[in-house]
Amino acid sequence: MKLTALIACKNREANLTHCLVSIEQCTPRPSVVIVDFGSKVPVHTFAKKYPWVTTIRVTRKTDLFHKARALNIGLRTIRTPFFCATDTDQIFQPNFFGVVLSTLLNKKRSVVLCKSYFLKVHPKPAETYEQLLEKAKASTTKVHGEGCCTGLWTKWAQNTHGWDEAYVGYGAEDSDVILRANLCKFSTVWVNKRTSTIHLPHPKTGVYYSNKAYFAENKRRYLLRKLNKDIIVNTHTPWGVK
């Protein structure tokens, strides 16, 4: 397959297990690169049973989850023409990656996005994707989000140095890479009328989420990007360094 799924995670063993089971049931199934950003339980200990998964273990400067750096570490290893950055808290309709890939094959200068449905409770072992989707649709949480599916042309992402690693803490790093693709005349294509994905519940605790200074700085940086229209990021420091 010409698509790699890229996932960055830290300490989400239960959700990542659901995620990998979901990907295993996808047709076609992508290769998967997981960047394990200092998880207490190393991801390879339970992901190694999937031969289509490559795990990259990171242990340097991992006290605070740094999504942009983690994704960049994985991005530098991707050799397929296209990739889809997604989330450890996602499960996917079986046709999901096929839809993402066909969209990119039709027009490689596209950024492919898909809004998510949100579950309030974790799946039970016997529940099918269709059953979970009905539960999620019945939830009071509206379908939304952009950072749980970012499908892109690999060469462009690598040439522009991936995600801006100046974004630290929660917020805006995915919006930034989408904005930069749009500045390069990439079309934005939403595929949630052709497929679906479900976001699993997880706590939003710790400095990554709670530090308001990080969030404010990330918002400021994103607004500045709209003004300066820089395409290539991480120009003054090495990027994607393990």
pLDDT of the residue at 87: 93
pLDDT of the residue at 60: 97
Domain ranges of the chain: 3-228
Mean pLDDT, rounded, for 77-102? 97
Helix, strand, coil percent content, the chain, rounded in steps of 5: 35, 20, 45
Class of residue 208 by CB neighbours under 10 A (exposed 0-12, middle 13-18, buried 19+): middle
31 beta partners: 4
- In which element (H, E) is residue 150 found? strand 149-153
Measure the CA dihedral 59/170/6/133, to 10°. 130
Which CATH fold topology does 3-228 show?
Spore Coat Polysaccharide Biosynthesis Protein SpsA; Chain A (3.90.550)
pLDDT of the residue at 210: 75
Angle between helices 173-183 and 212-228 (to 10 degrees): 0
Does the pLDDT at position 206 exceed 80? Answer: no
pLDDT of the residue at 189: 98
The residue type of 223 is L
User: Residue 211 — pLDDT band, cuts 50, 70, 90?
Assistant: confident
User: Residue 147 — pLDDT band, cuts 50, 70, 90?
Assistant: low
- Compute the radius of gyration of the chain from its Cα atoms: 17
